[in-house]
């Protein structure tokens, strides 16, 4: 059992138009990878996988792979920027996202950054 927030559909094999896809429900908790500390990385580049980061990364990847726009919103300090930056770092490492070449350009804002200041420069 569980709610939609506890489970996700995992598809096996290729999705083909004339075939019924094979899928099973999996718990998000089963796919959270163990954290492996890398001493060579700066502290601020470390991303500890959690239930929420795995969920949001899955949703972000699914949307970008289908060339759909993505907008994360929420209160300050919930990890939105970290999740997106980690995704961009992973996809720019191989140079592709959704079949399109990527080069991330990061512009950092704080809760006090006025959007008008960015738009007018």
C-alpha–C-alpha distance, residues 96 and 91, integer Å: 6
Strands (E), the chain: 7-12, 22-27, 96-97, 100-101
The answer, as to whether pTM is greater than 0.95, is: no
- Per residue in 66-97, pLDDT (tens digit) is 888 898 888 888 888 889 988 888 887 665 55
pLDDT at 109: 75
Q: Which residues contact 111 (CB under 8 A, 6 or more apart)?
A: 76
């Amino acid at each position: 059992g569980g709610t939609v927030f506890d489970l996700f559909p995992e598809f096996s094999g290729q999705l083909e138009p004339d075939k019924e896809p094979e899928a099973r429900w999996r718990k998000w908790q089963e796919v959270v990878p163990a954290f492996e500390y890398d001493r060579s990385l700066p502290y601020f580049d470390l991303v500890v996988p959690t239930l929420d980061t795995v969920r949001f990364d899955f949703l972000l990847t699914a949307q970008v792979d289908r060339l759909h726009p993505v907008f994360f919103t929420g209160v300050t300090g919930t990890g939105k920027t970290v999740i997106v930056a980690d995704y961009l770092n992973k996809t720019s490492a191989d140079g592709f996202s959704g079949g399109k070449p990527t080069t991330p350009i990061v512009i950092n804002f704080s809760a006090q950054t006025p959007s008008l200041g960015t738009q007018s420069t």
